[in-house]
Structure 1
């Protein structure tokens, strides 16, 4: 298949390599560009755990070596890998999305054991600093990076769409799905979407893609919100 990867540039290479090894042709079209916020202040506290929902968050908080001995809870395995590479020694992995992450925290942590450091981007799909306090947790959210959304598609991708040289697009977050939809609309290429299969990491991603839907889209959702499930999903198309 001829596929488009929409992940940020820093995250696209491993996925591109794996898909190409499976025989697919791949175009990279980063719809979010990541900008670390190196001067973000992490309040001093006796944190019982650190929460990260992306590899970018793991890398950013990993620059603080004094935190490497603190337990870190990652949303999924790719985030966990980034945390280990950043120096964290005790890393626990959730099921791949915000709901699974919250469930793991509620089931395994004690609200009285200390606050949680929540390292995030400026925009989050599920804000755990709002949803965990009702369970008794103190959550200190620190924004350590921001992701700027593209407003339009690259000339190369527009040409590929016009020449019908794209079979599918991989979408890993609700914000990326929204950005894709808006960029396609901006460039007047809505009619090309009917030719594509949209591979979505989760139902939340698919829902964002269908918001204000103008035409019927071919959408398929991974069995689990994980990198491996996305690869399997593409393989069944």
Structure 2
């Protein structure tokens, strides 16, 4: 992909720094269109158990713990994280015993808990967002684990595209849109349709973190060109796919 390109990053502001830095360092143009806004609940009630581990399926779960009054107690447990960014966020929150999943999704977290932890060693806290995928509690219950889900944050959808991004699409600008979840793909499609931009949005290029994201995009928007799909559901793999040099570690 030679020459100067434009990328549209759709991640929440808390998670967009690595992608944005890679784009700018490569000399490309960047438009920010956060599709979700993260709202933390520092007053969520967390039972005072002797937690064996904390399951963290998003960096925002660790960020929520860092803001919670129970942080000092929780960080004495193991953290089971979904990928590099959630690991970095768990470290920043104060966890020192961290098990990172090899697969960058909730099923990878389930696999780690099944293979590395003991159901008899104590309950597992699921530091959850309001919207979840993968049925973590139900699947681990089948193996005898006690899992307590506590909603510590909410990812609220944007109500409209930023005007700069909408104007760019309206005038037929060429760009690659980076999408990280099936939910954000559906929100993107809905906002483009709401703004009367579905037709030009279909002509954009898309880079998706996984096949599930690409599937949701195709169902909701039906882009003209086949979306690119990262070989692994990790941001570093997505950046490499786009010819951008990753720096540090980040998350889906």
Q: Same fold by TM (over 0.5)?
A: yes
Change (3 A) 1:17 1:211: same
Deviation at 1:219, TM superposition (A): 0.7
Question: RMSD of aligned C-alpha atoms?
Answer: 1.6
Deviation at 1:164, TM superposition (A): 2.6
- Distance in 2 separating the partners of 1:214 and 1:231: 23
Structure 1 counterpart of 2:193: 185
Cα offsets for 1:150-176 (capped at 9, x unmatched): 132121111111223341111111211
- Please give the TM-score of this superposition, normalised by the length of structure 2: 0.88
Judge conservation of contact 2:99–2:112 (CA < 8 Å) in 1.
no
The reply on whether 1:116 has 2:116 as its aligned counterpart is: no
- Distance in 1 separating the partners of 2:52 and 2:42: 23
Structure 1 counterpart of 2:134: 126
Structure 2 counterpart of 1:82: 89
The reply on whether 1:72 has 2:79 as its aligned counterpart is: yes
Higher deviation after alignment, 134-143 or 18-27: 18-27
The reply on whether 1:99 has 2:103 as its aligned counterpart is: no
Unaligned runs of 5+ in 1: none
Task: Point out which structure has higher relative CO (alpha carbons under 8 A, 6+ apart).
Answer: 2
- Distance in 1 separating the partners of 2:109 and 2:83: 8
Judge conservation of contact 1:151–1:186 (CA < 8 Å) in 2.
no
Judge conservation of contact 1:125–1:174 (CA < 8 Å) in 2.
no
Change (3 A) 1:112 1:53: same
**Partner of 1:132: helix, strand, or coil?**
helix
Change (3 A) 1:127 1:166: farther
Alignment partner of 2:62 out of 48, 58, 66: 58
Alignment map for 1:21-60 (pairs within 5 Å):
21-60=25-64
**Partner of 2:7: helix, strand, or coil?**
strand
**Partner of 1:145: helix, strand, or coil?**
strand
Deviation at 1:210, TM superposition (A): 2.1
Aligned residue-pair number: 236
Unaligned runs of 5+ in 2: 245-252
**Partner of 1:15: helix, strand, or coil?**
helix
Deviation at 1:35, TM superposition (A): 0.6
Cα offsets for 1:3-26 (capped at 9, x unmatched): 000000111123201221122211
